[in-house]
Every structure is written in C-alpha cells, then in structure tokens.
C-alpha cells in the first residue's frame, strides 16, 4: 500500500501557507452586519432592567437584542454524558432575570461594523442587583453558600460513582495508606483563532446558512433547528478552515443561537468574531479539580486499592458535555496499573465562574497528575525507585483485553483492547538513559544543582463511537471525492482520509479531494472529538472506498468481459491482470455508471457508495513521558533539559501527523503544568483576562522533545487496527514535569498543586530548605 504508514505531505498546507484559506473571520457576505455581545460584569446578580435606547441610536446600529426578544427559547441541551441530574443547571442562550458568571451574555448589538457595535455595546445600560458570589467549590457545597440554581440547593449539579471490589477493606488491610489532597488549576485550550460565526438567511429559499461551526456540526444543526423551531433541512452548517479546537471550539454556545437568530430576524447576514478577552472570559474553561485520595499499598509497593473523591468546578452552568470531565477522571484514574479495589466519587459543582467543558485529555490530564504523584510518594515512602513502583503495578500484556473495573458513559465498563505497558516502559527508560540520568542527577546535586527526573505513564482513550459516516464518489473525470462526517480543526484529517481512501480504492492521492463539515453535502456525521476522527472516519471511509472498488470491478468486469477476480485496481485504473492494454480509467468506469447505461443494464446509477463504521468499544493507545529538569531555586524557573515521549497508536496512518499531535499536545501540557491559569478573585472576576496574564508557552518554554512512536499493539477493534493520537501528548506532562520538579527540589507529597509557577516553586523551595535545616539541626 503506497500511502498508509507514510509521512505524506498534507493536502491542506498550500492554501494555509499562502494565507489563502478561509477562516470564519475571512468570510464576507453582501450587506453583512456585525455583532458585539454585551456581557455581565457581575459574577452573580439579578438583572433588574436593560436599557438599550441610547445604544439603538448610535450610528449604523440596526438592533439591540435582549432576552425579551427571544422569550421562551429553550436551554442548550447536553451532547455527551447527559445525566439527568445535570438538566437542572443548563443554560439559556441569553440571561433574562439572573446572571451567574462574569461574561454571561445579556444583550447583542448589531451594527455596520465591529467598531461601531462595540461603541454601542458600551452604551447598553444594564441595572443589576448583585448577589453573593461563590468561586470555591468546597465553599459552594457547604450549607449557607450562595445558591446558583434554585433547583440545585447544594450547588452539586451531579454526582457519579464508579466502584469495584471493596476499597475500604483494602485500605484496612494495607501495609501503607497514602492520603493526600491534590489540586489542578483552571485553564483551557485557548486556540489561536477565537470563536466566530457568520449567519445568513437566504430569503428566496428559506435556508439559513451558518459558517463557523466545527467539531460537531450535525449535532449543532439539530440543536439550532430545535431552538429556532425550524426544520433541520432548512439549516446549513458550513465548516470553514478552523484555527484549532482542543475541545473548546465547536460546542454549542449561547452565541451559536443568538447570531443565527439575529440573521433570521434581520434578513441580513450577521458576523460575530469574538476578541481574545472575550474568548478567555466566555469560551469554555476546564481542568479545575480537587482530589481527596487514598492509595492503599503493600510493603512491596503493589497497589491494593484506590479511593478518590473528586470535585470538578463546572462554573455557573452545565454545558454541552454534561458530566464528561468527571466521568473521564473516574474511568481513567487507574491508568496502566492494576487496581483491584476502586472507588471514585465525582461531583460536578456549580460556582460563579465561566462554565467549564472538555479540553484535550479532559479529566485525564488531571487524573495523570494525581495518579503519578501518588506513585512517586509511595516510592519515597518505601525507598523504592519510582520506576520500580510502576513496574510492580503495570497491567501485563497477557491480561489483555483487560477490564479495569471502571466504567465510562452509560456505565459501560472500560476494557483496554491491547497494549504492552511494561515493554514500552523499559524501552522508554532505556532510550532516555534512565539509570545513568539518575546517576548524573546525583552528581549534579552534589554540585548544588537542583535537577530531577519525572515519570508519567498513562493509557489514553480514543475512537469513541457510536458511528461515523463516509461517502466515496468517483466522478466522470476520475476524480475521487470523500465526504466525511468528521470535522477538521487543523489536525490533518483530509490528508489521513485521502491516504486511507487512496489505498482502499487503488488510486493516487492527488486524485482525491475530501469534503467535510458542510451539512448540505454531508447528510450525517458525529464529528471530531475524543481522538475519534481517524479511527471512526478513517474506517468509515475505508468501508465506502472498498464498496466503490467492488462496484468498479463489477462494471469493468462486464465491460472487459472477464471475471472480477481477473482484474487489478491500481493507480486509478482497472486492468486485466497480466494485460495492461485491457484497462479502464476510473473516469471511464464512472461514465459507464451514468444513468443512461446503468438503467439500461439494470444497476443503480453512479459510482458512489456510503460507508459507516460503528464502534461499541473504544481503543486504547498508551504512553510514557520522561522529563529531566533543572530548577532555579532563586527565580522559580524550570528548565526542561530533556524530554522523551513514547507512544503506541496501534498503527500509524501518517507518522509525521501523529508526531505533530504529540508535540502540540505536549506544549499545551507544559503550559498547563507550569504557566497557564484562569485566575479569579473572590468577587468572581477573571483577573487573567488577556495574554499579558494568561501565559501561553512560546518556542522558548517548550522543549525539544524526543518522540518514539511504535506500533506494538494494533487494535483488534477496527479494520485499520488504529488508535487515536490527539491527546496523549498532553496527559502525560502534568505527571512527568511535576514529578521531575518534586525530585529536583527533594520534595514528595508537598508538591500536589498545579500550576508550578515560579512563585509556587519558590515557596516549595523554601519549604524544602526548611525541611533540610530541620534534618540538619534537630535529631534527638
């Protein structure tokens, strides 16, 4: 197969390199108006009145919309993990009587330009009666705390429990129980392109087109249709080029209703592109969790049981992914280790912060941090090498398929499909020169340097079902078009699908074009999230390609008067084996499938077939992160001296693209571990509201990474045998970097909070120094 497994150059790149690709902000429609959203400045307040009179009079202002104009519009529903208890805290697209987070939309101004819309937005006078604010979920759960939603009196919107075995008995019988609290800070995906939409109603056809949707365009069309009370067939979602998603972009937000509503009402195209401050304030946040864990182990470090209570700060409302983050944490906290007795209670708690959702490796970046820190603490307490503790606890290859004892959506038990965790681990340690690196650290420390090594092992989930749609079509010129229900957010979906179809159908890649995200030409789709796209969309496209190939063989066999078994398909031609003269181009076969010929011969016209791939179970890639760092105790800065990632994706369609996902995910992990925080004050004001305070890693902070990709454990769960790769770069970083910093400072359980900003490291360093002084001065 000429393409599968090769690092083929991307189809997407030339237009992007020229600056010629169309992102939503590049779309210009005749008569287009511009919207600016007026947002609540209060974290919690009653809305007494909104006076739009002065705003309406501003130059070029066409309208100012408030809740009064959309009376009766429903709530934004959940798409994933739609647990019933969460319904009580869903969000209406615009606030009517109450606001619950700073940034909640209260009005929308539409004017001739964004400048003028923003000018007018400042003149919208909203009168609020401030209510008490709660930002800490621990406080929110206590009696007497401000209540955000009347039907959720304890602010606990949801509660889920995953358990197996008898964890209390394990704790009672253990030789050692580690009990700790961990905290991961609020941060988020922050794609470089902010969110945006352009909506336009075609009055002659009644079709409302929305440019800008991505990730889950078909689901969003369904939601919009319901909220606008319009048939789905009158709504067209078009996915443009997209500047990154990471889980944040593409969910159905309030603006996804408001902008199309305005376009329909005004009968003119409406454009809304948020600015960066708005994005940091109003797009989904993520990651804010607190854990209270107990890990029960034997003397030799083998795990008997793990008990966790995890609180996820959901913000003011529950968004479209419902309880996905807590579900992921509860399902994947064990990672690659055997946990015979497990108990995880996960609470979704409401506070007056921006609503939170899923961000790359949701619930799992957090879980990895907790799990791997615990193992390091065990190692310290039992005087074992941290690598040895892991060795003693890995799920073994012969255990596969392995039921973890945890469960995912709809209580579906988690079963790892394939993997050799110990084998990968040893290879990674060897490639990293682990043993000599430890020795090097000892030597460096004796010279006063604060250096350390950290390990982060994980199992990732990918290939989430339930299904994906594809259609492959050959046109009379021999061009092949692949229609996919998945979405492209920069990951190279088109290239991967083209490779798969090229090999599946027997054609050169340059004859293939991939279409996605346009609901007018792609009738069904689930989308791109949870590292599902290549697995689901790729296998669906393969199925469709194979069916087209079969049809071509049948048509060509009839035309060339041979049996189909005597034909070969390659390079865009169907030929008789051993006789290249007797052949047809794809285009010729397609022309033979035209209605005139096909109807006469009695077969379905056209050379196009659909393909679906259904996945009942996910597929599980796995990896190891190893970091060697140096900490400057005076400045609190962390320098990453060496970083290694080992990752097994089962089978690699395009190794370069997979490596790109690991590297990109890793940079976000570095940001999330060391730099990024969506910080709030007690009044519920976001104080890191711009890039001056919310620090994204630059080329200087992200290290050069040695990535080793393997295909040791193909998945038995799909024909391509592939697993996803979107998130493995991120989830190991919180573990490996935190462990390395702890090692460098000579700390153990003292390091249990992220981010490891210079300030926190400076404080930890003083703690370590004080502890050492105690050891030196006081032994009785």
Partner 1 sequence: MSTAKRAIRVTINGSDVTATVEPRRLLVDFIREDAALTGTHVGCEHGVCGACTVFLDGQTVRSCLVFAVQADARRVDTIEGLAGDGDLSPLQHSFWEHHGLQCGFCTPGMLMTATELLASNPSPTGAEIRHAISGNLCRCTGYQNIVASISAAAAAPGIADAGSGSGTDR
Tell the smallest beta-carbon distance from residue 618 to partner 1 (Å).
24
Name which of 376, 401, 492 is nearest 746 in CA terms. 376
For partner 1, which is the closer residue by CB, 36 or 242? 242
**Nearer Cβ to partner 1 (273/560):** 273
Tokens 């050799």 -> residue: 420
Query: Is residue 195 a contact point for partner 1 (CB under 8 A)?
Result: no
Assess 646 for contact with partner 1 (CB under 8 A).
no
Among 75, 656, 750, 760, interactor with partner 1 by CB under 8 A? 656
508 is a site residue for partner 1 (CB under 8 A) = no
Query: According to CB under 8 A, which one of 700, 775, 778, 779 is a site residue for partner 1?
Result: 700
Q: Per-residue DSSP letters for 549-583?
A: HHHHHHHHHHHHTS-GGGEEEETTEEEETTEEEEE
Q: Which alpha helices (H) appear in 354-449, and where do they start and end? A: 364-382, 386-391, 421-432, 434-446
Are the CB atoms for 176 and 384 separated by under 8 Å?
A: no
CB of 671 to partner 1, least distance (A): 9
- Asked if 23 interacts with partner 1 (CB under 8 A), we say yes
599: its two tokens: 């109807």
Q: How far is the CB of 115 from partner 1 (least distance, A)?
A: 7
Nearer to partner 1 (CB atom), residue 195 or residue 717: 195
698 CB contacts (<8 Å, ≥6 apart)?
Answer: none
Residues in binding contact with partner 1, number by CB under 8 A: 58
3-state secondary structure of 85: helix
Give min distance, CB of 206 to partner 1, in A: 30
Shortest gap between Cβ of 672 and partner 1 (angstroms)? 12
What does the alpha-carbon distance between residue 368 and residue 733 come to, in Å, rounded to a whole number? 8
Q: How far is the CB of 196 from partner 1 (least distance, A)?
A: 10
| Rounded least distance, CB 555 to partner 1, Å | 37
For position 637 contacting partner 1 by CB under 8 A, the verdict is: no
DSSP state of 533: I
User: Token digits for 105?
Assistant: 């939309």
Rounded-to-integer distance, Cα 736 and Cα 741, Å? 9
Contact string (CB under 8 A) for partner 1, positions 466-505, x = contact: -----------------------xxxx-------------
Strand partners of residue 455: 626
Binding mask 98-137 for partner 1 (x = CB under 8 A): -----------------x----------------------
The answer to whether residue 16 forms part of the interface with partner 1 (CB under 8 A) is yes
Q: Which residue has the tokens 């060339």?
A: 560
192 binding partner 1? (CB under 8 A): yes
Measured between alpha carbons, how far is 489 from 214 in angstroms, rounded to an integer? 7
- Kindly state the smallest distance separating residue 526's Cβ from partner 1, in Å: 21
Shortest Å, Cβ 349 to partner 1:
28
Closest distance to partner 1 from the beta carbon of 406 (Å): 30
Output the furthest CA–CA distance in the chain (Å, rounded).
102
Token pair of 461, please?
């989930």
Could you say whether residue 668 binds partner 1 (CB under 8 A)?
yes
Q: Per rule CB under 8 A, is residue 193 in the interface with partner 1?
A: yes
Residue 212 or 386 having the CB closest to partner 1: 212
What is the Cα–Cα distance from 425 to 100, expressed in whole angstroms? 46
Q: Are strands 341-350 and 303-315 parallel, antiparallel or unpaired?
A: parallel
State yes or no: residue 30 binds partner 1 (CB under 8 A).
no
CB of 363 to partner 1, least distance (A): 21
| DSSP assignment of 150-176 | TT-TTSEEEEEEEEES-HHHHHHH-SE
Q: Which of 2, 25, 41, 77 binds partner 1 (CB under 8 A)?
A: 25
Task: Please choose, out of 14-22, 62-70, 368-376, 680-688, the segment that lies near partner 1 by the rule CB under 8 A.
Answer: 14-22
Does residue 776 touch partner 1 according to CB under 8 A?
no
* Least Cβ distance, residue 658 to partner 1 (angstroms): 10
- Nearest distance from C-beta of residue 726 to partner 1, angstroms: 11
User: Collapsing DSSP states into helix, strand and coil, what is residue 241?
Assistant: strand
210-to-32, 43, 164, 664 alpha-carbon distances in Å? 13, 31, 46, 29
281 is a site residue for partner 1 (CB under 8 A): no
Phi and psi at residue 493, to the nearest 5°: -55, -45
396 near partner 1, rule: CB under 8 A: no
Q: Examine residue 194 and tell whether it contacts partner 1 (CB under 8 A).
A: yes
Q: Contact at 8 Å (CB) between 175 and 346?
A: no
In the shown chain, the binding pattern of residues 733 to 772 toward partner 1, with x for contact by CB under 8 A and - for none, equals ----------------------------------------
**HEC-encoded secondary structure of 444-488:** HHHCCCEEEEEEEEEECCECCCCEEEEEEEECCCCCEEEEECCCC
Strand-pair category, 608-614 with 579-585: unpaired
Select the span of 237-245, 281-289, 448-456, 544-552 touching partner 1 (CB under 8 A). 237-245
Asked if residues 645 and 623 have their Cβ atoms less than 8 Å apart, the reply is yes
246 is a site residue for partner 1 (CB under 8 A): yes
Contacts of 780 (CB under 8 A, 6+ apart): none
Task: Kindly state whether residue 191 participates in binding partner 1, applying the rule CB under 8 A.
Answer: yes
Residue from 12, 372, 473, 648 that binds partner 1 (CB under 8 A)? Answer: 12
**By CB under 8 A, is residue 696 in contact with partner 1?**
yes
Using CB under 8 A as the binding rule, whether residue 692 contacts partner 1 is answered as: yes
Rg of the chain (C-alpha set): 28
State which of residues 160, 190, 543, 737 lies at the interface with partner 1 (CB under 8 A).
190
Q: Which residue has the tokens 């929305």?
A: 210
User: Which residues, 6+ apart, have CB-to-CB distance to 372 below 8 Å?
Assistant: 335, 455, 456, 457, 735, 736, 738, 739
- 687 part of the interface to partner 1, by CB under 8 A: no
Residues that bind partner 1 (CB under 8 A): 7, 9-10, 12-14, 16-23, 25-26, 28, 115, 189-194, 241-244, 246, 273, 275-277, 489-492, 656-657, 659-660, 663-668, 690-692, 696, 698-700, 702, 704-705, 729
């Amino acid at each position: 197969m000429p393409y599968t497994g090769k690092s083929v150059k991307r189809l997407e790149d030339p237009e992007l390199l020229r600056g010629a690709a169309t992102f939503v902000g590049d779309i210009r429609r005749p008569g287009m108006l511009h919207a600016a959203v007026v947002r609540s400045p209060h974290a919690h307040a009653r809305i007494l009145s909104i006076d739009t009179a002065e705003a309406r009079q501003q130059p070029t202002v066409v309208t100012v919309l408030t809740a009064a104009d959309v009376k009766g519009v429903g709530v934004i529903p959940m798409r994933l993990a739609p647990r019933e208890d969460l319904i009580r805290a869903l969000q209406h697209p615009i606030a009517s009587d109450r606001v619950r987070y700073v940034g909640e939309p209260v009005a929308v101004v539409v004017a001739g330009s964004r400048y003028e819309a923003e000018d007018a937005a400042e003149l919208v006078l909203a009168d609020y009666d401030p209510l008490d604010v709660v930002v800490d979920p621990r406080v929110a759960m206590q009696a007497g705390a401000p209540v955000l939603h009347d039907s959720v009196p304890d602010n606990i919107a949801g509660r889920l429990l995953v358990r197996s075995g008898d964890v209390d008995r394990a704790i009672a019988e253990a030789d050692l129980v580690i009990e700790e609290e961990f905290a991961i800070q609020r941060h988020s995906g922050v794609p470089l392109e902010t969110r945006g939409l352009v909506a336009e109603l075609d009055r002659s056809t009644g079709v409302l087109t929305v440019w800008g949707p991505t990730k889950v365009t078909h689901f969003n069309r369904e939601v919009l249709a319901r909220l606008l009370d319009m048939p789905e067939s009158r709504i067209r979602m078009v996915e443009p080029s997209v500047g990154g998603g990471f889980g944040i972009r593409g969910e159905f937000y309030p603006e996804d209703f408001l902008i199309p509503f305005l376009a329909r009402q005004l009968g003119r195209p409406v454009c809304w592109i948020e600015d960066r401050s708005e994005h940091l304030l109003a797009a989904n946040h993520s990651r804010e969790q607190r854990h209270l864990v107990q890990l029960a182990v034997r003397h030799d470090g083998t795990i008997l049981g793990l008990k966790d209570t995890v609180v996820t700060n959901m913000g003011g409302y529950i968004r479209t992914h419902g309880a996905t983050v807590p579900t992921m944490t509860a399902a994947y906290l064990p990672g690659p280790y055997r946990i015979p007795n497990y108990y995880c209670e996960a609470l979704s708690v409401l506070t007056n912060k921006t609503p939170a959702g899923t961000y790359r490796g949701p619930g799992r970046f957090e879980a990895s941090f907790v799990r791997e820190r615990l193992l390091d603490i065990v190692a310290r307490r039992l005087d074992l090498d941290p690598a040895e503790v892991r060795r003693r606890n890995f799920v073994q290859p012969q255990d596969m398929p392995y039921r973890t004892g945890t469960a995912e959506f709809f209580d579906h038990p988690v079963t790892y499909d394939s993997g050799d965790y110990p084998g990968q681990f040893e290879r990674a340690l060897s490639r990293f020169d682990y043993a000599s690196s430890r020795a090097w650290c000892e030597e460096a420390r004796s010279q006063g340097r604060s250096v350390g090594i950290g390990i982060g092992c994980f199992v990732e989930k990918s290939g989430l079902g339930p299904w994906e749609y594809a259609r492959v079509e050959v046109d009379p010129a021999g061009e092949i078009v692949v229609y996919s229900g998945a979405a492209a957010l920069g990951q190279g979906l088109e290239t991967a699908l083209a490779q798969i179809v090229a090999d599946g159908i027997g054609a050169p890649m340059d004859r293939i074009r991939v279409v996605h995200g346009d609901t007018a030409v792609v009738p069904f789709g689930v989308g791109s999230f949870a590292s599902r796209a290549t697995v689901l969309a790729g296998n669906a496209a393969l199925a469709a390609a194979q069916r087209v190939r079969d049809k071509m063989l049948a048509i060509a066999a009839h035309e060339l008067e041979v049996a189909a078994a005597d034909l070969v398909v390659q390079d865009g031609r169907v030929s008789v084996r051993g006789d290249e003269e007797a052949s047809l181009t794809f285009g010729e076969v397609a022309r033979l499938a035209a209605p005139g010929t096909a109807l006469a011969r009695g077969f379905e016209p056209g050379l196009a077939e659909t393909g679906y791939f259904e996945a009942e179970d996910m597929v599980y890639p796995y990896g190891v992160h190893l970091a060697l760092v140096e900490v400057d105790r005076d400045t609190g800065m962390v320098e990453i001296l060496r970083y290694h990632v080992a990752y097994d994706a089962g089978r690699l369609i395009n190794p370069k693209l997979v490596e790109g996902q690991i590297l990109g995910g890793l940079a976000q992990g570095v940001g999330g571990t060391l730099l990024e925080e969506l910080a709030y004050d007690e009044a519920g004001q976001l104080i890191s509201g711009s890039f001056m305070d919310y620090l994204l890693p630059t080329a200087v902070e992200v290290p050069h990474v040695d990535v080793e990709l393997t295909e040791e454990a193909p998945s038995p769960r799909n024909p391509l045998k592939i697993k996803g790769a979107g998130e493995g770069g991120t989830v190991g970083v919180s573990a490996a970097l935190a462990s390395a910093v702890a090692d460098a400072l000579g700390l153990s359980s003292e390091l249990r909070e992220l981010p490891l900003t210079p300030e926190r490291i400076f404080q930890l360093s003083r703690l370590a120094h004080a502890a050492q002084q105690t050891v030196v001065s006081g032994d009785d």
